[in-house]
Amino acid sequence: MGSPGLRVAIVGGGIGGMATANALVRHGIEVAVYEQAPELGEIGAGVLMTPNSVRLLERIGMGPALAAVGARIGDGSQYYRKDGTLVAPILTTDSQGWNGMYGMHRADLLTILADGLPNGVIHTNHQCVGFDQDEAAAHLQFDNGASATADVVIAADGIHSALQRYVVAPSRPVHSGSVAYRGLIPAERLPWWRRGVSQLWMGEGKHFLVYPVRSGELINYVGFVPSDERTTESWSAPGDPVALAAAFAGWDSPIERLLTQVDTTFWWGLYDREPLSTWTNGRLTLLGDAAHPMLPHVGQGANQAIEDAVALATLLATRDGNTAREALQAYESLRRPRVAEVQRGARANGQRYDSAYDDLNERDAEIAASVTFRSWLYDYDVEADAGELAGT
């Protein structure tokens, strides 16, 4: 159990913040989550949950809920060239053959995480506008006039984090040169679509990803296209279905058939950052996209935030208010090298998916060989490493 009296405040009620709250509660640590929105919610889009995070959520007790509302993704998942030529299978298991991969609706995942918390932990309508700390505690101020005091503050407030500036000098997000069209289609409108698989098609400057969510009731698609326009990072900027269909005209027939069923779509600007020099300042630390925003090309944004959550909770479990800062430094030293590697891997995969090669056979060979990187991702047990650091 957590040390008596340790108080943790989390700024941000997204996947990273809510996963951290659950991981802390599991260790008996007092926690409060402060979310600026009037209610918890995620715009309708999919997220791939991979074995490295699913095993952690299962330990917290969320396995049955994930299985109930997720869509299991398994054998038959494939990479293709844009004309449908098979390139390689997509890895959906760890090295032991355990299939811990789900397509999830973000709103469903957030609901699972919220339902795992005791009443009174989540405070909506709290936009953080100020932070300071002293030897004894950290202090937060909110736009509604409220304030909070804690031994530790975790900034899980996204790529545009309001608290990041208290840790490192401000840096601008890096635009990838691409935007993504995202949307969901009822599976009943695509009765011919292959069930229970993830499929990704790769072409010049573009790629197209499809996988199921919500127990297979919905098909999630993402079409990545080049753009110099600095589109919003928001999930909810409206896109043009006609422009989306035109961008993938002449591609493999399943994509063209799927796109005839798209009524509404949303634009998502793709940004990351160069790895930060530090995540921690005293009693404040960064987590998830506030610490390491990454491109979606290895599907690890949410999964790495969940790894962060469990690592941080494990390291704080043996600390009190006087020694919590040491746990934050240990968390940073454990997590920064791995997520920097994932950030770099996501950028490199984006180049592969967008066929930025003179010889596509070379690209295809790299895609086939990427099973090694995927295994490194999926086999990792952050709780074991954090426990070893904590001496537990």
Task: Report the catalytic residues.
Answer: 211
Q: Using CA atoms, how far apart are residues 333 and 127, in angstroms rounded to an integer?
A: 29
* DSSP, residue by residue, 273-314: -PPPS-SEETTEEE-GGGT----GGGS-HHHHHHHHHHHHHH
3-state secondary structure at position 356: coil
Q: Using CA atoms, how far apart are residues 240 and 254, in angstroms rounded to an integer?
A: 20
Q: Using CA atoms, how far apart are residues 333 and 99, in angstroms rounded to an integer?
A: 30
How do strand 206-213 and strand 218-226 relate by DSSP bridges? antiparallel
Q: What are the tokens at 168?
A: 């490192």
Backbone angles phi, psi at 243, to 5 degrees: -65, -35
Indicate the angle between helix axes 51-60 and 371-379, nearest 10 degrees. 20
| Sign of the CA dihedral with 84 first, then 87, 89, and 90 last | negative
Backbone angles phi, psi at 182, to 5 degrees: -125, 150
Partner residues linked to 220 by β-bridges: 184, 211
- Give the position of tokens 């991981």: 23
Q: Using CA atoms, how far apart are residues 331 and 224, in angstroms rounded to an integer?
A: 34
Supply the DSSP symbol for 91. Answer: P
Supply the DSSP symbol for 118. Answer: P
Q: Using CA atoms, how far apart are residues 118 and 110, in angstroms rounded to an integer?
A: 15
